[in-house]
């Protein structure tokens, strides 16, 4: 069964000004905890899966994600849900690094 990619853009009216702290609090409200990572231009992640549910949140830069037979470009403020066991790949696009919050569901 092919599902749509679950995305949520940042909404300043609801979420406030985009910052690492604000995104961290939003992810925590969903029951996730997160670590920040910076990926340099040209970074690619080959198709892989995770043994846990994840959310990737982009704080800056552009990140291409392929999943569920679809492709999306994430930009600052975008969140994408990566369900446990879902095959996906990702890559930094453009000349700027990507700063992300890589979140996993709390047990």
CA-wise closest residue to 59 among 39, 77, 40? 77
Q: pLDDT tens string for the chain (107 positions)?
A: 456 789 999 999 999 999 999 999 999 999 999 999 999 999 999 999 999 999 999 999 999 999 988 999 999 999 999 999 999 999 999 999 999 999 999 87
pTM to 2 decimals? 0.92
- At 106 the pLDDT is 82
44/4 Cα distance (integer angstroms): 22
- At 68 the pLDDT is 85
104/79 Cα distance (integer angstroms): 13
- At 4 the pLDDT is 78
- Give alpha helix (H) positions in 1-107: 12-15, 20-29
- At 2 the pLDDT is 55
30/32 Cα distance (integer angstroms): 6
- Give the chain's domains with CATH numbers: 7-105 (2.60.120.10)
């Amino acid at each position: 069964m092919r599902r749509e990619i679950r995305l949520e853009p940042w909404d300043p009216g609801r979420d406030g000004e985009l910052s690492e702290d604000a995104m961290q609090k939003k992810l925590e409200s969903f029951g996730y905890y997160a670590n920040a990572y910076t990926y340099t231009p040209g970074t690619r992640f080959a198709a892989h899966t995770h043994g846990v549910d994840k959310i990737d949140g982009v704080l800056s830069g552009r990140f291409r994600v392929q999943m569920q037979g679809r492709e999306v470009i994430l930009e600052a403020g975008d969140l994408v849900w990566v369900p446990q066991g879902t095959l996906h790949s990702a890559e930094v696009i453009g000349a700027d690094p990507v700063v992300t919050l890589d979140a996993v569901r709390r047990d």
